[in-house]
Amino acid sequence: MSTPTPTPKPTPKTLVTLSIAPYSASTPIDSLKSHVLAITHDGLVWGNSSYVDVGFGIQKLHQNVVIEDTVSLEDLQEEIEGLGNGEWVQSTDVEGMQKI
């Protein structure tokens, strides 16, 4: 009898919804989204996004992302906040998080 080969365990993943607030109303939100989606890491997959009206003509970006547990969410947020030499993003907040 041969012993069955163990199946590899799937890598734990988390679905995160990030709220990305632009620095000002003059920040081009479509360009901001393009630069956010250009960020790549092993274990990071961008998902759906939407724009949410904040007020005074400002919109923020809600962006879904699936990350493996090997990806640091804090480092990802810092990388997003550093876009445009820190002049495009005011802040990033985690709106939701769910293990999948």
User: What is the per-residue pLDDT across 31-85, written as a single tens digit (0 to 9) for each?
Assistant: 999 999 999 999 999 999 999 998 888 899 999 999 999 999 999 999 999 998 9
Q: Write down the pLDDT at residue 1.
A: 59
User: What residue segments make up the domains of the chain, in order of their start?
Assistant: 13-99
Beta bridge partners of 72: none
Average pLDDT over residues 86-90: 91
Q: Write down the pLDDT at residue 3.
A: 74
Q: Write down the pLDDT at residue 9.
A: 83
Give the side-chain half-sphere CA count within 13 A for 24.
4
CATH class, 13-99 region? alpha beta
Q: Is the pTM here over 0.75, yes or no?
A: yes
E strand intervals along 13-57:
13-22, 44-55
